[in-house]
Structure 1
Amino acid sequence: MLEPKVQDTRWQILLCLKKSAGMTVNQLANTLGLSSMGVRQHLAILGRDNMVGYDWERRDRGRPRYVYKITEAADKLFTKHYLLTSIEILDAIHDLYGPEAVEQVFRKRMENRIEEYSSRVNGENLAEKVIELTRIRDEQGYLSEFEETKDFFMLKEYSCPNVQISNKYPQVCEYELELLRRLLNTEVINECAVKDGTHFGVHRIMKY
């Protein structure tokens, strides 16, 4: 995905926080290979810029600890800047031509992306296809990764470029799901989504 103009280490901190429900200074330091003092310095700057906030986490023993999380302002860094314009265009299409015209836009967008990505998602087996699809989704800003189990692949996405669109036009999620099914030629089940308030979305990609 495209990185905004944030200093590299602080961007890595934001990435870690985006992929989690919150992290402590020590957790960030261990993950990034930094000193606790260094992490605190970066968090102070991110806090000043309204990029991170924190909650108190109470423990059975010892003092409560800070758990850092990204703010709404930081979360917007993971969303493509053209989203608001896209929503305005969809609104105009809806007002001028009706809801079916919006459906046609989503359908055409899906077909175009299938045509564009089919040449890349062409592995000899499902695993190869999932690897390439995950790479494509990551390029699109989904912060994607996958895990493999005996019966399915689990595609996890920590960001969703469509989340603002889906708030007004939820059918975009169905077209995204159909896109995955057709590219992978297998059943794909959505288990949870970023728009539902979870810190990541999950697609279950069946092996049968």
Structure 2
Amino acid sequence: MSQPKEMPTRNKILQMMKTTGPMSTREITAELGITEMAVRRHLGVMERDGLIESKMIRQTLGRPTAVFGLTEHGESLFPKNYHSLTLDLLGELEQELGEDTVKHLFDRRKVKLNHQYEPEMQGKDFHEKVLRLAEIQNENGYMTECVKKDDDQYVLMEYNCPISQIANRYNHACDCELKLFESLLDADVERTECLAQEGRKCVYIIKSK
């Protein structure tokens, strides 16, 4: 009978910080039973990767001590079930008030995002707007790639969709994204492939007017 694999040291440290909060190097060393040098090496790599961050805390006696805790990126490694809650709430809303109410919520979200990003498009030409949109989507976790076909046309590809579970149920979310792109870019936008409709990626053909 095979034995279960031991959890990697880095994962152990992350789990310890998740369950107990920020910890000092000494506390981590005592918990893991390895050398302090090894712990510092792991902490250095994890801090470099943006998984943890250090801060100084004051002691009753002696010098302040450095403790390490999870960053937002580190927290994101632990399972979250937000989409299930969101789908449940949207389902209840749809049952109580109808599908049009849910669509209205997505429309409101589009308007909000348009107000948020429109100032970043001011003063930019078509080329600059498309590249900035690709950056915005990448920053929001869409794993974008932008390819220039000619002076008047780009292909924007998104290999990840942070709201895919919601978009799979409510395709209006995808329609709102397309309209948002059209508004921000003042361009003609056509979606030729969609992750929410069994595509391998979302593909947008963007043409200047």
TM range (shorter): 0.5 to 0.7
Q: TM (normalized to structure 1)?
A: 0.59
Structure-2 residue corresponding to 1:189: 190
Aligned partners of 1:143 and 1:158 also within 8 Å: yes
Partner Cα distance (1:153, 1:106) in 2: 26
- Corresponding pairs, count: 133
Partner Cα distance (2:134, 2:85) in 1: 26
- CA shift digits 1:88-147 (9 cap, x unpaired): 221121122111111110110110000011112334211111111111101111101200
Partner Cα distance (1:194, 1:101) in 2: 24
Could you tell me which amino acid in structure 1 is paired with residue 206 of structure 2? I
Partner Cα distance (1:83, 1:123) in 2: 37
- CA shift digits 1:59-102 (9 cap, x unpaired): xxxxxxxxxxxxxxxxxx7x985322221221121122111111
Aligned partners of 2:186 and 2:208 also within 8 Å: no
Aligned partners of 2:190 and 2:205 also within 8 Å: yes
Could you tell me which amino acid in structure 2 is paired with residue 141 of structure 1? G
SS at the partner of 1:205?
Answer: strand
SS at the partner of 2:120?
Answer: coil
Where in structure 2 are the equivalents of 1:45-124 lying within 5 Å? 82-124=82-124
- CA shift digits 1:29-71 (9 cap, x unpaired): xxxxxxxxxxxxxxxxxxxxxxxxxxxxxxxxxxxxxxxxxxx
Partner Cα distance (1:145, 1:188) in 2: 16
**Residue identity (%):** 29
Structure-1 residue corresponding to 2:39: none
- CA shift digits 1:145-192 (9 cap, x unpaired): 200011410001100123211221111111111011001111100010
- CA shift digits 1:5-47 (9 cap, x unpaired): xx8xxxxxxxxxxxxxxxxxxxxxxxxxxxxxxxxxxxxxxxx
- Larger RCO: 1 or 2 (CA < 8 Å, sep 6+): 1
1:114 to 1:189, Cα distance in 2 relative to 1, 3 A: same
1:80 to 1:176, Cα distance in 2 relative to 1, 3 A: farther
Kindly name which structure, 1 or 2, has the bigger radius of gyration based on alpha carbons.
Answer: 2
1:80 to 1:127, Cα distance in 2 relative to 1, 3 A: farther
1:196 to 1:118, Cα distance in 2 relative to 1, 3 A: same
Partner Cα distance (1:135, 1:194) in 2: 19
SS at the partner of 2:96?
Answer: helix
Partner Cα distance (1:123, 1:147) in 2: 22
Structure-2 residue corresponding to 1:46: none
Aligned partners of 2:171 and 2:196 also within 8 Å: no
Partner Cα distance (1:80, 1:177) in 2: 27
SS at the partner of 2:142?
Answer: coil
Could you tell me which amino acid in structure 1 is paired with residue 199 of structure 2? T
Unaligned runs of 5+ in 1: 1-6, 8-76
Structure-2 residue corresponding to 1:142: 142
Unaligned runs of 5+ in 2: 1-9, 11-76
- RMSD, aligned α-carbons: 2.2
